[in-house]
Amino acid sequence: MNSVFGFLHSSLGKKYIMAITGAVLFAFVVAHMLGNLQIFLGPEMINGYAAFLKSKPELLWLARIGLLLMAVLHIVSAIQLSRMNKAARPLAYGNARIVAASYASRTMLMSGLIIFTFVIYHLLHFTVALPAANLLPAGTDFRALHDTGGRHDVYRMMILGYSNVWVSGFYILGMALLCLHLSHGLSSMFQSVGLKQRPYDKLIDRFAQSAAWIIFIGNCSIPIAVLLGYGK
Ligand code: HEM
C-alpha cells in the first residue's frame, strides 16, 4: 500500500495520473463535440439529444462528478509536477533550451489554467444559464426557452448564445488554447506511459496534431456558422 502511495507521489506517478485523466477528458471533449455538432441536423435532433442526456439525473450527476474529479486530479498533478521540475532545476534555462521546446509544450500550465477559466464561463453561460453571462439584451433568459414539445430549447439557446460576437470570439479563443494544449498533451500522454517509442513516435505526434485541429475546426464551426447567419 505504501509503495502505491509512494508511486502516486513520485514524478512518474503524477505523469501517469495526468495521462489517464487527460485521456478521459479528451474522450469527453470528442463526445461533447459530436453531440454539439447535431445542431447542424436541426432543433429536433439537438433538443432530443439534450433531453435524453437529462432524462437520467443519477447517471448525469455521476458523469459530472467523475468529470470534475478528473479535471481536479489533472490540474493538481500539473501544478505539482511543475513545482517538482522547478525544484529539480533551480537555474532558469538559457535561450538554447527554449528554442528546442515547442511553444505548446512551454505553455501547457498556462493554456490549461485558461481553459479552466473558459470552462467556468461556459458552464455559467449554458449549463447554469446565468442571464448576466449571455451578454444579450436584458431579459434574455436561456432557462425560459422551450420548444413545441416542452423540452429545453438547446438549439435556440446556442443560436442566441453565439449571436453575440464577443461571446463567440471568446469561445474561439478558448478553442484555440484547448487545441494548442491538446496538440502537445496528446503526444506527451503516450510518452508518460512509455508508449511513444520508435517507429511510432512520429505517427503519435501526427495523431496529436490532427486530433487537435479536428477539435478546433469542429467546435469553432458552431459559433462561426451562427455569426454567418445559421439558425436566424
Ligand atoms: C464551441 C464549442 C462548444 C459548444 C457549442 C458547447 C455546447 C454546450 C452546451 C449547449 C452545453 C449545455 C447542454 C445542456 O444544458 O443541455 C454544454 C455543457 C457543457 N460543456 Fe460544452 N460546448 C463547447 C465546448 C466545450 C468544451 C471545449 C468543454 C470542455 C473542455 C466543454 C465542457 C462542457 C461541460 C463540462 C458541460 C456541462 C455538462 C453538464 O451539464 O453536466 N464544452 N456545452
Are 33 and 215 spatial neighbours (Cβ–Cβ below 8 Å)? yes
Residue 34 Cα to ligand 1 middle (Å): 11
Average the pLDDT over 61-87 and give the result.
95
Average the pLDDT over 116-122 and give the result.
98
**Which residues fall within 8 angstroms of residue 139, CB to CB, at 6 or more apart?**
131
Q: Is the CB of 127 under 6 A from ligand 1?
A: yes
Q: Which atom of ligand 1 is nearest to the CA of 39?
A: 5
Residue 195 Cα to ligand 1 middle (Å): 31
Residue 35 Cα to ligand 1 middle (Å): 9
Say whether pTM exceeds 0.85.
Answer: yes
pLDDT of 183-212, one tens digit each? 999 999 999 999 999 999 999 999 999 999
Q: Is the CB of 178 under 6 A from ligand 1?
A: yes
**Res. 120 pLDDT band, cuts 50 70 90:** very high
Alpha-carbon gap, residue 119 to 155, rounded angstroms: 20
Residue 32 Cα to ligand 1 middle (Å): 7
Q: Which atom of ligand 1 is nearest to the CA of 215?
A: 27
Give the relative orientation of helices 154-161 and 201-227 as an angle to the nearest 10 degrees: 90
Q: Which atom of ligand 1 is nearest to the CA of 127?
A: 15
Closest Cα to atom 43, ligand 1: which residue?
126
Alpha-carbon gap, residue 42 to 56, rounded angstroms: 23
Q: What is the pLDDT of residue 148?
A: 97
Which of 175, 157, 161, 182 has the alpha carbon at shortest distance from 221?
A: 175
What is residue 86's three-state secondary structure?
helix
- As a whole number of Å, the CA-based R_g of the chain is 20
* Cell 471533449, residue located: 29
What is residue 67's three-state secondary structure?
helix
Could you tell me the three cell numbers for 202? 512520429
Backbone φ, ψ for residue 152 (5° rounding): -60, 130
